Amino acid sequence: MHGRTEPDRDIRPQDDRSPRRSQRQRGDCDVRYRGWSFGSSPPKLAERAHKLAVVRSFQTGDGRHDIKPIVSRFSDDANISTYYARIAGANRSDTGMPTTAALYPRAVADDAMPAFKNFGDFESTGSLGSAFRRSHPAAAANFGRT
């Protein structure tokens, strides 16, 4: 995901034992997966909470939990979805849809913020090659625009 979601649409893993830290404008969805809180806007996503994976912490190499480039020499200049596409296949066999995509704000609205690449190029495939590149709907939508 790129950019920030509105407060009533977010997904928030949280401990059931702790007091609720925030309230959403439109309330929460019921979630079958203990410890998760979903805003009311994505009910179908909330139904599939048991299929999601969340990385809460990771080793940065220097002991700090700060933002590091996600595409760097340590990832062979490839983003993580490139590795997923390499293992799972570039397209889903049942639908033909790409297994990985880059959806930037300007794919939806021309006046939205530009792609943010300060922490690496999310479309970079490194040495794995362009066969595993993310599908980029905004690039197709802007084809031929001047």
Lowest mean pLDDT among 35-39, 120-124, 137-141: 137-141
Average pLDDT, the chain: 68
pLDDT of residue 96: 84
pLDDT (mean) for 51-55 = 65
Are 120 and 80 within 8 A, CB to CB?
no
Residue 105 banded pLDDT, cuts 50, 70, 90: confident
pLDDT of residue 25: 55
pLDDT of residue 6: 47
The domain limits of the chain are 7-51, 73-134
- Whether pTM > 0.85 for this model: the answer is no
Bridge pairing between strands 11-13 and 28-29: unpaired
User: Residue 22 corresponds to which amino acid?
Assistant: S
pLDDT (mean) for 40-49 = 70
Return phi, psi of residue 111, to 5°: -90, 10
